[in-house]
Amino acid sequence: MKVAIIGGGPAGLYAAILLKKQRPQAEITVHERNRADDTFGFGVVFSDATLDNFEKYDPPSYRRITQEFAYWDDIAVHFRGTVHRVGGNGFCGCSRRMLLLILQERARELGVTLLFETDVDDESRFADADLVVLADGINSRFRDKYVDHFRPEVDLRSNKFAWMGSTRPLDAFTFIFQETEWGPFIAHAYQYEAGRSTWIFETDAATFRRAGLEGLSERQSADRMAEIFGWFLDGHPLLTNRSMWRNFPMIRSQRWVKDNMVLLGDAKATAHFSIGSGTKLAMEDAIALAEAMAQAPTVAVALDTYENGRREEVEKTQHAADVSLVWFEHVDRFWDFDPVQFAFGVMTRAKAITYDNLTLRAPDFVGEVDKAFARQVRAMGFDADVDKPVAPMFQPFKLRDMEIANRAVLSPMCMYSANEGVPGDFHLVHYGSRAIGGAGLIFTEMTCVGRDARITPGCTGLWNDEQQAAWRRIVDFVHANSAAKICLQLGHAGRKGATRLMWEGMDRPLERGGWDTVSASAIPYFPDSQVPREMDRADMDRVRDEFVAAAERGEACGFDMLELHCAHGYLLASFVSPLTNQRTDEYGGSLGNRLRYPLEIFAAMRAAWPAHRPMSVRISATDWAEGGITGDDAVAVARAFGEAGVDLVDVSTGQTVRDAQPVYGRMFQTPFSEQVRNEARVATMCVGNITTSDQVNTILAAGRADLVALGRPHLVDPAFTTRAAAWYGASDIACPAPYLPGKEQIFRNSMRDRQDFEDLKIKGKPKTRAELKAEATKPLAAE
Ligand SMILES: Cc1cc2nc3c(=O)[nH]c(=O)nc-3n(C[C@H](O)[C@H](O)[C@H](O)COP(=O)(O)OP(=O)(O)OC[C@H]3O[C@@H](n4cnc5c(N)ncnc54)[C@H](O)[C@@H]3O)c2cc1C
Ligand SMILES: Cc1cc2nc3c(=O)[nH]c(=O)nc-3n(C[C@H](O)[C@H](O)[C@H](O)COP(=O)(O)O)c2cc1C
């Protein structure tokens, strides 16, 4: 077998090593345009898990690599004169040059041919090769040559960054967030060998310009960075090596294989440097390719296996990198945060690290985070215990005069079980048991303001006395038997009206018994859905008055709070999104115009609703569709409602158009809540695939939302909040007297279970290489 590898970076060399081990007879050649010891960049980083992989696949190179490594366990966050350190991270750094020399030596030892100073410009010279590996890096000539086949998407990110080095020793992976007269600068730094550290500097484009970095030489820009970070560099110089400022290209290729050619490493996909995964991904690609080649009968099958088997893992890493890079791009959102909360945000930015996980690793740090949170709660006027604070989920919150005992919320969830809009016994038990279950705030399902405002024949309404009496019974029950507050969500289905019950075909038109629908524009949801009538002014007045009348009935029922539903493609959302609003009057066109009608309704309801009771608005912060609402629009929407007197923005997403492309995942809508909260400076509630109290605490402690709503988790577990309170020892959680023995039991058991769980986690956790090395080098006298 003949294998031609273009590019002698980590991907190309490691692929050569693994393939040669597998097929000693194969003729494997690496073509590299640089000289053998030419290398750009400084150090590379690997996690302990990645090193475990290297150990498994090629022990000799693993041993040599790890002899050269610098290990560290801590991440240190420097911000506004403070430093917070968190241990237990298990990372290692090594010089990129040394890594390449080790891999070259190992490849040679195995009999791979390495050709340096060989710039390949045409792969047809490898016509006799069975396999051609395109490991030619981020600017891959061959990916570009077959651009129509590989179909790469290149997303050039807005921040500027440059790799540099220093002799400054570091004992932790160090993030420095530095305020300057021009704006914020960030340094990501780590040591990779004795006396050598990598420094990646990052800033936004405007700060870059203001700081006069445009047009400076490599040396001049390094000098400017040395001035900014001089207080930390401690007299050590900054070193350069092609340290030009650039914008990070996030690359995703739709195809990785063409005939017998395969893209590996940066050539196929990149991951932002803030998660330190570029070299890891490159080498793990090589592992995946070698695995596929070992098992498949032909090269074609192997390449297919490689692409299909590896894609998900790469995309997962890229997703984590995306989330992380977005955090760094928007660091100004958090710039006025308490430094410990800021550091918590840095640590938890990419989902993998959470509140509970940090509690195990760095209990003192989380203790400080809890205290900072408790101080904010005190500033709101609560008598929160700052010395021994409860977890953020169990801290109270206040909107106007309404106080809620904790931050867990039952999300509005249609039950499709009403009869002519009247909530029945099912609803009483449903809302009642969730209120007793401990949630601080209960939202009703979307309750419709008129008969023809309903989504389905099973939706609840509030347009007549019978419905009002039924809701009054539910509200009274909640108030009499729990500490929960209850919020009425009012809505109008718009073009999604006259559709079937969820379990009979969500959003599908009713076959019989439907009614006429209205919307911002006459556009059906599905092609075969009913075509709604474009609302005229008379319709708008009528519907506005229905909202006001329902709000007044809501007050009479005793609801504590009122929410206007402007999300999910229903009537008011259809005005907000340009995808569903094509009006040419003053209610269409600009975002300001599209918001006019929802704001008119909000203002009319606000005037009717008692001033001391809060109001919220639910929005779809993105349509997940080309040309639709984006996070930036959501900030503008939130500001407009904020000016109109909204107290809380309930940040959901999507469901505007049927061909949307949502990116699902854990807590997938939370980034929008974070953006709205910290840019528009309004209180937010986030929702969407939040399933654990650990996630709730992580979101709250990092300042990504003020309240957290859970929908589906509450459907199966009415006592979600009480269970979580037992886990975190938040014993103040309300409980009806007849249930107290159950509460006592779960608190007793949970405290024990939690202790067992933590012991198990700590005992079961393998030692990091940094810990092992520290133990091995500890002087005997210290034992
Ligand atoms: C300037 C720079 C500095 C960096 N510094 C660091 C760092 O300090 N730490 C870190 O972890 N990551 C660093 N990275 C990122 C990291 O290098 C990559 O994520 C990782 O090296 C990817 O490995 P790779 O093998 O896919 O690509 P590369 O390492 O880029 O290797 C590709 C190789 O292909 C060769 N090549 C390209 N075209 C041809 C051709 N036509 N013919 C022959 N040879 C060709 C190139 O010379 C190169 O050696 C840096 C990246 C850049 C651009
Ligand atoms: C069956 C069902 C009914 C829903 N009804 C409503 C509703 O009436 N009003 C609303 O704003 N959102 C509604 N939603 C959306 C939920 O409030 C919530 O945003 C969504 O389920 C995501 O949260 P989760 O992952 O915690 O379930 C509904 C969702 C489901 C699954």
Ligand nearest to the CA of 248: 1
Q: Of the residues 101, 273, 287, which should be mutated to test ligand 1's pocket, given the most ligand atoms within 8 Å of the CB?
A: 273
Q: Is the pLDDT of residue 306 over 90?
A: yes
Ligand nearest to the CA of 692: 2
Å from CA of 713 to ligand 2 middle: 11
For atom 29 of ligand 1, the residue with the nearest CA is 9
**Nearest one of 107, 328, 115, 105 to 204, comparing CA atoms:** 328
Catalytic residue among 71, 570, 597, 728: 570
Pick the atom of ligand 1 nearest to 244's CA: 1
* Cα–Cα distance for residue pair 21/18, rounded to 1 Å: 5
CB atoms within 10 A of CB 538: 8
pLDDT digits (tens, 9 = 90+) for 481-519: 999 999 999 999 999 999 999 999 889 999 998 999 999
Ligand nearest to the CA of 564: 2
Pick the atom of ligand 2 nearest to 459's CA: 8
Element (H, E) at 490: strand 485-491
Work out the average pLDDT over 143-155: 96
pLDDT at residue number 159? 96
Pick the atom of ligand 1 nearest to 119's CA: 42
Q: Of the residues 5, 18, 32, which should be mutated to test ligand 1's pocket, given the most ligand atoms within 8 Å of the CB?
A: 32
For atom 22 of ligand 2, the residue with the nearest CA is 688
Pick the atom of ligand 2 nearest to 502's CA: 1
- Alpha carbon separation from 610 to 187, 473, 495, 554 (Å, rounded): 50, 21, 31, 11
- Cα-based angle 696, 697, 698 (whole degrees, multiple of 5): 95
Pick the atom of ligand 2 nearest to 669's CA: 22
Mean pLDDT of the chain: 94
Element (H, E) at 408: strand 408-410
Pick the atom of ligand 2 nearest to 712's CA: 27
Confidence of residue 657 (pLDDT cuts 50, 70, 90): very high
pLDDT at residue number 300? 96
pLDDT at residue number 778? 60
Ligand 1 pocket residues where CB is under 6 Å: 6-12, 31-34, 40-45, 96, 119-120, 135-138, 141, 163, 198, 242, 265-267, 278-279, 282
With 0-12 / 13-18 / 19 or more C-beta atoms within 10 angstroms meaning exposed / middle / buried, residue 611 is exposed
3 state DSSP class of 77: strand
Q: Is the pLDDT of residue 119 over 80?
A: yes
pLDDT digits (tens, 9 = 90+) for 560-576: 999 999 999 999 999 99
For atom 14 of ligand 1, the residue with the nearest CA is 41
pLDDT digits (tens, 9 = 90+) for 726-771: 999 999 999 999 999 999 999 999 989 988 888 877 776 767 777 7
- Tell me if 712 CB under 6 Å of ligand 2: yes
pLDDT at residue number 783? 35
Å from CA of 643 to ligand 2 middle: 27
Å from CA of 43 to ligand 1 middle: 12
Question: Which runs of consecutive H residues, i.e. helices, occur in 152-274?
Answer: 205-210, 218-228, 230-233
Instruction: Establish whether 431 is a catalytic residue.
Output: no
Cβ distance 134 to 303 under 8 Å?
Answer: no
Ligand nearest to the CA of 269: 1
- Tell me if 654 CB under 6 Å of ligand 2: no
* Cα–Cα distance for residue pair 323/139, rounded to 1 Å: 23
Å from CA of 602 to ligand 1 middle: 55
- Tell me if 411 CB under 6 Å of ligand 2: yes
